Amino acid sequence: MLDANLAKIEAEVDKHTKVVSVEEKVIAAVKEKKVLNDKEYVEHIENCQKLKGKAHIAIHGVNDAATTLKNQREY
């Protein structure tokens, strides 16, 4: 009976050890993915800021061209 209980306890310890090992691998993978996601997010924000700057330049160029055409029509 004692041997059976010891065997059950050892089986539970092995089971929990395997579960903890898998959980540690999952946690490591999630941390790695978080770093990648943070990097991609920062790159995305920087790209959006660059595009926004280009859009502002384009808008001002169009407005200048429209003003020039309007002034030419008045002459």
Which pLDDT belongs to residue 2?
A: 85
Which pLDDT belongs to residue 52?
A: 96
Q: How far apart are CA 59 and CA 18, in angstroms?
A: 61
Which pLDDT belongs to residue 46?
A: 97
Q: How far apart are CA 46 and CA 53, in angstroms?
A: 11
| pLDDT tens sequence for the chain (75 residues) | 888 888 999 999 999 999 999 999 999 999 999 999 999 999 999 999 999 999 999 999 999 999 999 888 877
